[in-house]
Structure 1
């Protein structure tokens, strides 16, 4: 990619950023600043804005093959100063706290504020100190002195910070952060790569002509990180296949790592996915034309464990999913292997060795799309329960935006742009550690008790996957606790909910009240009068209201049809 600018063109870009600070959103540089007249700017953003002025596209670091020296040389050759940021652990500490601290988001924010205020008292920025013993000494001194009213840590404008122990509690977490970083030296240097640059993916799909709500993109990625089976449901043409296709093209090195398979209406067994042993030749195995078995075998090889592989099953409900997908559903839970044949070893007619057993390796992800209409087979709650189910809907604002700025789609601009972060994507996916949280437990138990009344209560697997999903959402997103709960309930609890009006109406009513801050009673006729400020979980609330209306109109409702 040949990029060249005059100094004047770059200054024009800087002035444009000054006049429109929103351009910096999602484009901040974590380690470097371009310095101009004492102000700091993200270096790549300056080049990107300058390129757009010349009629070009937006530029990201991936356009330079993630080599910072190339863009920085362009800027320095034009007389600009590019400097590494002063060492400050605040951002790394915040990201670490999202993963490591099982406390409310508001408490984590209070810890950051407490450390900032304490820094003013001690006369140095605590976030710039890396000497573990020095911070431990500060912590021990706080334990001794902070509760002395009028002492060196006491301030009239914020007495509770010292008297109630906020200072020591926050510094203790910073001690834990420094210890964790000592054990894992990558926590500071490679944090952006640990998060595998999901913001860059969001920007890349915009460059391709797609326009997804960033929230749905983060939900999709977090769901893959939680469990390697994700279902995308909704209206035909709402973007389900495109978001899956764009992600795999972005993160894979080449197209040998993924397959997009349209499910056939004539699929009555597993053969379209796994093939079959030739009954007339004891040494031959017929591979499926879909290429699914080839992907499974490649993904399981030792030399490929550092690469993600993807199967995208398009329109899964064109046939009964239990007929052709039962083996996959079984081994996902048992972590067993799928038996292809018994007896002597077999090869395909092309000479490819086919093992008697295959397993679904940890680096293989399955994404299914489900179009909701009258011509397809509805998924059973059992199948929906085994996946993270994301519903795609098109609202008035989205369709208006499209009509105002329709765009053609070019997915070729995504090709392998995120391949350098694929290993770290797998590392995030392999982290299955969760920490107990009493607040979440109390909320989910309330939902459990209501779902139990209609036989749709959840088990240990679902409970674990909800907590893990919330953890992954906090890894890569900026969701509040209530937003994480909302997404977890929508994706893991509601898919099992179905039944007749007489069976389910009272349960839906009770679940809707759980979504409100001060709900005493619910009337479907007056649901439009409920203010948004009174809704704790808006995604779940909207879905439950639709299910409620469906039950009243048709005498029956389910997650898939509402």
Structure 2
């Protein structure tokens, strides 16, 4: 109760900031800065209540300014002014570099410049209580909503006018274009999604207006559905068609779209026919602007009024139907899975960067096979084991198997027919075959096979059947009979709810992976930063994985559903494709180019990451993809790779930035200006590979 009171108090403070006005408009600077701080806390870039005026903060501030500020002709995006003036709020304090030195803010022309403020202040400091609240993803969303709705996006621009967007949408349906850029992202505090089809044109293009936790794949939402063939535009109470929603519209005797179409004499099967009609428009006639805006505002206001946290809904005013009970919703939205998992990792005394956690979970959702490599003792096995324990309700849903150096065939994983006894099958003692069989029967829950030190033997020998079946979706044959032998069927397929994680160490006792293996996985490298080791040393404690058991089981079925459903390619796909093509051209020079499978999996990864971390920008997502899918295959001699690596370094930098600092060993990546760097994670890895190349005349992604 006390934390709820504190949350309410801080939300009140955020909604009543001391702000100036120009030309009758509220200055947005403080709100944009606070929004940027919240975003960086969510990404793990701010890990204490100290807010330094870093390049990342400045970059996030500019990004949010472009995204949310409407009156750009009136206000200038100076981060320095709000950084100073927020000290007038009770929760924000400036810490000068010297307690004995009077901070010089008298020179008004320079006092708000970033360099001047960095010279004067160590950092700003927010109250610890506020910082603790902001560690929770749900709280962050509440603060974001207050800032955006109070200071940044006016009611008039976000909820009163949508007519022009709809006309643009209808005009585009007359073309072959699948482009979704140029449409608004927010309307009436709801996320806006638009689609004209994936790969090919759909005959029912749509708009969706989504609350947090609701998706077009699983949820309820208002939306426009345009039945082009019939010239009918339906403003609908939409219901997800891919997966059953955890909540339902509280409507009595609603009219489904299928029933409506039948009443119009349309008898064919109707896409999205299970959704309900709010209003239908004849597009062959001119649409009335006021009617369109009024209708959309009405249904979205109603949607916003629904309380998804009660069972049943009792405090809403349905339009026009009375209330009926709904299915109780999941207690936590799936978008918070990484922050919830990170919270429990801290309880277990495990230290992982939240960005790494996002990459790890996103990679599993992209394809159910990932490889964890990197420094020995950096937590590869512990992360895999912890996630399986946290997400699974029962211990029988996961196996942690140490790979043996003597594994020369598939028998340690799949067993073998007993040659001495007819119709008998010898299962492996490690339960792997039992795990696969059980996963095939229990399709709604996730199952995990963790292969520890996967490269202690040749992976291609003992894992060949798995590698082949991952792509062909075919069968793995176990014995020749048509019936079961000791409960073992003649063949199996890899269940879609089975996730395989391999951990890798590099030393003289292990084997390198072939391109065949790397091509089929996301490879995530573990490094330990100075900040992470400092945080670990400052918080000593005994590891306690028991606290993780089943804590995230509520996410299990949704995790499986998202891992197996197609994605909607809407998030800056053109920018992503341009970057991929540029890297393809350079990698081809060294023979490390990628094929259609890798390109497809990268595109899927780039659409999955925003589901978990909506604040992650496109450049960061491309950075993840380069590091995990493209660089692992790069290896070779100095003659072959030196010019390629130099060009890759250049591609990771902003246009016009010299590569000399990165190829001469003059500076570490983390000490240089992030404004010069486009893909920092990939750049840091490529520079390490380049240095190894210079020193040893050979380099590869894998490092001891």
Q: For 1:183, which of 239, 242, 246 is the aligned residue?
A: 239
TM-score (norm 2): 0.58
SS at match of 2:333: helix
What are the residue-to-residue correspondences of 1:157-556 with 2, within 5 Å? 175-177=207-209, 178-179=222-223, 182-184=238-240, 189=308, 192-195=332-335, 197-301=337-441, 304-343=442-481, 345-348=483-486, 353-435=487-569, 437-477=573-613, 478-519=615-656, 521-523=658-660, 524-526=663-665, 528=667, 531-556=673-698
Report the secondary structure of 2:373's partner residue. Answer: strand
Could you tell which deviates more after superposition, 225-234 or 409-418?
409-418
Contact 2:567 2:608 in 1 (8 A): no
CA–CA distance in structure 1, aligned partners of residues 395 and 511 of structure 2? 30
Equivalences, count? 449
Aligned pair in 2 of structure 1 residues 281, 500: CA closer, same or farther (>3 Å)?
A: same
Distance 1:507 1:219 in 2: 26
Q: Alignment partner of 1:223: what SS?
A: helix
Quick one: distance in 1 between partners of 2:583 and 2:667? 23
Specify every segment of 5 or more residues in structure 2 that has no aligned partner in the other structure, as ranges.
Answer: 15-33, 43-128, 170-180, 195-206, 210-221, 225-236, 248-302, 309-328
Distance 1:499 1:255, change over 3 A: same
CA contact (8 A) 1:389 1:492 kept: yes
CA contact (8 A) 1:283 1:344 kept: no
Change in Cα spacing, 1:423 to 1:141, as seen in structure 2 (3 Å) is closer
Give the whole-Å Cα distance in 2 for the aligned partners of 1:169 and 1:344. 55
TM-aligned CA distance change 1:140 to 1:335, over 3 Å: closer
Give the whole-Å Cα distance in 1 for the aligned partners of 2:597 and 2:168: 43
SS of corresponding position for 2:597: helix
Q: Secondary structure at the match of 2:645?
A: helix
Asked if the contact 1:283–1:345 (Cα under 8 Å) also holds between the matched residues in 2, the reply is: no
1-side partners of 2:153 and 2:38: how far apart?
Answer: 27
Could you say if the C-alpha distance between residues 339 and 224 of structure 1 is closer, same or farther in structure 2, counting changes exceeding 3 Å? same
| 1:426–1:322 CA distance, 2 compared to 1 (3 A) | same
Q: Deviation of residue 375 (structure 1)?
A: 2.4
**Change in 2 beyond 3 A, CA 1:454/1:196:** same
- The structure-2 alpha-carbon separation of the partners of 1:234 and 1:15, relative to structure 1 and needing over 3 Å to count, comes to same
Structure 1 residues 167 and 320: CA distance shift in structure 2, 3 A: closer
Write the distance in 1 (CA, Å) between the matches of 2:644 and 2:346.
Answer: 41
Question: What is the CA-CA distance between 1:535 and the residue it aligns to?
Answer: 0.7
- Supply the distance in 2 between the matched residues of 1:520 and 1:410 (Cα, whole angstroms): 47
Distance 1:561 1:11, change over 3 A: closer
Alpha-carbon distance, 1:282 to partner = 2.1
Partners of 2:542 and 2:11 lie apart in 1 by 27
Conserved? CA contact 1:450–1:510, under 8 Å: yes
- The match for 1:116 is 153
Asked whether the equivalents of residues 414 and 427 of structure 2 are also in contact (C-alpha less than 8 Å), the reply is: yes
Aligned residue for 1:360, secondary structure, equals: coil
Give the CA deviation at 1:193.
Answer: 3.2
| Residues 166 and 293 (structure 1), Cα distance of their counterparts in 2 relative to 1, 3 Å cut | closer
Alpha-carbon distance in 1 for matches of 2:136, 2:651: 45
Please state how far the C-alpha of 1:120 moved relative to its aligned partner: 3.0
Q: SS in structure 2 opposite 1:313?
A: strand
Q: CA RMSD in A?
A: 3.9
- More relative contact order in 1 or in 2 (CA 8 Å, sep 6+)? 1
Q: CA deviation at 1:142?
A: 10
Deviation at 1:235, TM superposition (A): 1.2
Give the direction of change, closer, same or farther, for the CA distance of 1:334–1:115 in structure 2 (3 Å limit): farther
Normalization by structure 1: what TM-score?
0.71
Task: Verify the 8 A CA contact 1:308 1:365 in the aligned structure 2.
Answer: yes
Counterpart Cα distance in 2 of 1:551 and 1:169: 45
Cα offset, 1:431, TM superposition: 2.2
CA contact (8 A) 2:522 2:628 kept: yes
| Secondary structure in 2 matching 1:200 | helix
Work out the CA distance in 2 between the residues paired with 1:433 and 1:60.
Answer: 24
The answer to whether the 8 Å contact 2:636/2:699 transfers is yes
Q: Distance in 1 between matches of 2:334 and 2:595?
A: 31
What is the distance in 2 between the residues matched to 1:380 and 1:167? Answer: 44
Taking a change above 3 Å as real, the CA distance of residues 12 and 433 of structure 1, as seen in their structure-2 partners, is closer
Match of 2:285 in 1: none
How far apart are 1:520 and its partner, in Å? Answer: 6.0
Contact 2:393–2:553 at 8 Å: present in 1 too? yes
Give the C-alpha shift of residue 23 in structure 1.
Answer: 11
Contact 1:230 1:368 in 2 (8 A): yes
- In structure 1, C-alpha distance between the alignment counterparts of 2:430 and 2:623, rounded to whole Å: 37
Alpha-carbon contact 1:512-1:541 (below 8 Å) kept: yes
**Which whole-Å CA distance do the structure 2 matches of 1:263 and 1:313 have between them?**
6
* Distance of aligned partners of 1:391 and 1:173 in 2 relative to their CA distance in 1, 3 Å threshold: closer
- Evaluate the alpha carbon distance shift between residue 10 and residue 360 of structure 1 in structure 2; reply closer, same or farther with a 3 A threshold: closer
CA displacement, residues 124-151 of structure 1 (integer Å, 9 cap, x when unaligned): x72xx9xxxxx766856999xxxxxxxx
**C-alpha distance 406-169 of structure 1, shift in aligned 2 (>3 A):** closer
What is the DSSP-based 3-state SS (H/G/I as helix, E as strand, rest coil) of the residue aligned with 2:664? helix
In structure 2, the CA distance between the partners of 1:549 and 1:292, relative to structure 1 (3 Å rule), is same
Aligned CA distance change for structure 1 residues 517 and 432 (closer, same or farther; 3 Å) = same
> How many angstroms apart in 2 are the aligned matches of 1:227 and 1:253?
22
Deviation at 1:16, TM superposition (A): 10
Where 2:523 maps in the other structure, the secondary structure is: strand
Tell me how far apart the structure 1 counterparts of residues 556 and 607 of structure 2 sit (CA, whole Å): 20
Distance 1:372 1:293, change over 3 A: same
